[in-house]
Amino acid sequence: MQPKREQALVGLFVLIAVAVLFGTVFTMSGAFGRSTTKFHAYFPFAGGLEPGATVRYAGGPKVGRVDSVQLDPQNPAQLDIVFSVQSDLPIKVDSNVKIMSMSPLGDNHLEILPGTSQAPRALSGALLPSQKYVDFNALTAQINDLGPQAQELLRNLNNRASEVQETIARVNDLLSPQNRLNLAATLASTRGMIEENRPQVKAALRNVNALTEKIQPLLEDFRRTSEEANQALNHIDAVVGENRTDVRQAVVELRRTLTNMTDATARIDQTLDVNSENIDELLDNMRHVTENLKEFTATIKTRPYTLIRATNPSEHKPGGQQ
């Protein structure tokens, strides 16, 4: 009886352990007391995902699992991945889905990236936007494409290294012992020159200080003159502002006078152009009159009697009667 009782206890213990195990598994998988919401996303490459794969939210703990991975009936070039997550997750319509792994050697899982706070929540069965999965082969191809550029970069680095070596060689030549001796001699000569001319330098500095002290009053006078000039300009502005109406009226009258003078000049020019022939004839007559007056004046001077008698007197002969 004793062995049967022990076998019964062992069997009961095994059954209890199996029940606890199943309960733990179902509890961790969310089978009890936790509702789920289904979504799906399209991927051109699934990265080896299979039903039952883990779904994580923002790199956190597991929040669901992949339900199915199947071809899209409308586009055979992409896969339709359906997954279930906890209903209380804030899945937004702009939440992104991508395939990634937690480590280089880890298994791939489905990652949900949070959306913006202003976006509305996605409904059950909604299509979420996805990011293209880049696998190791694609990275290898990109690295191979970068090979020629890397080689060109290495060649440029080698050329720059050669130039740096040449520059270092020039610097070494510049810092050769002979050049260092020359530089030391130059510095010594400069120091000796400064020691010899120190009194002159001090005298020059004193003269500069004295000149600065003399310039300061001039600057003060210039500043006062500038202030007085500014005050004068302000007074002129004020006077102009007060008499602006009179000045404007004077300018208007001056402009009217200039206009009248211009019109009068134009009329005079027109009159001269029209009467140019008459003026020439008048000048010609005046010239003739002037010549006649000259002849008349000469006649009066030589023969004044012509003013009394129109005829010339007879010639007087000696012994005769007049």
DSSP symbols for 29-55:
HT-SS--EEEEEEEES--TT--TT-EE
The tens-digit pLDDT sequence of the chain (322 residues) is 566 677 777 777 778 887 878 777 656 555 455 688 899 999 988 888 889 888 999 888 888 999 999 988 888 888 899 999 988 888 888 998 988 888 777 788 889 988 888 989 888 888 899 888 776 666 666 666 677 777 788 878 888 888 888 888 777 777 778 777 877 888 888 777 777 777 777 777 778 787 777 777 878 877 888 888 888 878 777 776 777 777 778 778 888 888 888 887 887 777 777 777 777 777 777 887 788 777 777 777 776 666 665 555 555 556 555 4
| Cα–Cα distance, 43 to 111 (Å, whole number) | 13
Cα 24 versus chain centre, distance: 65
Q: What is the pLDDT of residue 312?
A: 57
**Rg from Cα positions in the chain:** 61
Say what the pLDDT of residue 311 is. Answer: 56
| CA–CA distance, 110 with 138 (Å, rounded to integer) | 19
d(CA 165, CA 95): 55
The enclosing H or E element of 26 equals helix 2-29
pLDDT of residue 310: 54
Task: Specify the pLDDT at position 83.
Answer: 92
Q: Is 198 helix (H, G, I), strand (E, B) or coil?
A: helix
